Amino acid sequence: MGSMRPTDTSHEIHLALSQDPALRRRFLVLNEPIPGNMRFGILLEQLDWLAAETALEHARRAAPDAHVVTAAVDEIVVRHPADADHDIVCRARLNRVGRTSMEVGIRVETTEPCHIASCYFTMVARDGDTAEARSIAVPPLEAADELERHRVERAPRRQAAWRARLAAAAEPPSREEFDLLSALHRAQEDDAFDGLLAGKLGIESWERTYPEQENWSKVIFGGYIMRRAYELSSLCAERIAPRRPVIAAVNRVNFFHPVQIGDKLHITARAVYTEGPAICVETSIQRISRDRTASALSNSCLFTFVNVRPEMTLEDVPPIHPATYAEDARWLDARRNLHALAARMRGGWLGLGPARGA
């Protein structure tokens, strides 16, 4: 088997929304002309499927019976609003291959073209689909030009940045953060206080999984799990946004345990931090086995929305006031994630950077 270049792993899907009325209807938020009329949760399903197909084909070059699982969505940054009036093209390729893991980069565009989003998925190759399955080695890639080498170099930097953010989450607040939190706590002592309390901004949902939602590994499709997490997060953001919350970024989605057919899912979404027009929503999914003998955290997610007026211009939202140590910790983690995202973004219709003070 000869050496493989990242370009040799390319895959693409074309969503012909302008030509297929049934497909277009599935992607609509409302059956009326509004800007950004696109169900982002359905797009997440398509992206996860494409990432899995791209990684699976590469893994099976070395192991014909290999499986792949989604380990994480490292980041999805939305550059421009999409709508279901225009065709969408999703182009995927492997950016980097480790021993058993693969980073799949996906660029989402309209056919005009217009850059909608950049996405990064981490997939892991396995030797089966049972709980006893083990990770297996995948063929290496050889970067042959400057652009491919640049993508290879950026992948570990993203991983390092995420590990740094995890470490930072355990750090105590800085003086600036302490002062901001103190002001939010003091405001609650005023008899006339009518601000947003973090403890009252959560919503939850329960559902059961069924065979129609399974993937080829006979577990529930990761894209479906992400869609359900996103949809509840969007409803949660609506509790704060005076206008309309629109997705700005998927900061991170972690996959910890596979969801089995027949599991109950307990999905919890909390609005934990706001800044300017941005709303950060933390969502977790707990799986409970059908016989109720096993329970585990399946996924943790952090989404950033922005509040927009009808013409899609940004409008600030009120601050969230944490009242407990746990709420303080979630506020700090979301704030640090938002600032890190703003520092990495270069332009884009959402205008998140540079981040402003709370």
Residues 272-310 have pLDDT tens digits of: 999 999 999 999 999 999 888 889 989 899 999 999 999
In single-letter form, the type of residue at position 212 comes to: E
In single-letter form, the type of residue at position 326 comes to: A
Cα–Cα distance, 20 to 115 (Å, whole number):
22
> Nearest to residue 263, comparing CAs of 298, 227, 226?
298
Query: 174-358: same fold as 1-157?
Result: yes
CATH topology of domain 174-358: Thiol Ester Dehydrase; Chain A (3.10.129)
Query: Is residue 89 within 8 Å of 43, Cβ to Cβ?
Result: no
Q: Which two tokens stand for residue 234?
A: 């969007």
Cα–Cα distance, 122 to 97 (Å, whole number):
10
Domain boundary assignment for the chain: 1-157, 174-358
Residues 59-105 have pLDDT tens digits of: 999 899 898 989 999 889 998 888 888 999 999 999 999 999 999 99
* pLDDT attached to residue 127: 86
Q: How many CA atoms lie within 13 A of 45 on its CB side?
A: 17
Cα–Cα distance, 116 to 114 (Å, whole number):
6
Residues 199-231 have pLDDT tens digits of: 999 999 999 988 888 876 667 788 899 999 999
Residues 127-180 have pLDDT tens digits of: 876 667 789 999 998 887 787 787 777 777 777 777 777 777 778 899 999 999
Q: Does domain 1-157 have CATH number 2.60.40.10?
A: no
Q: Which residues pair with 269 in a beta bridge?
A: 203, 283
Helix H or strand E segment including 315: none
Cα 140 from chain centroid?
Answer: 27
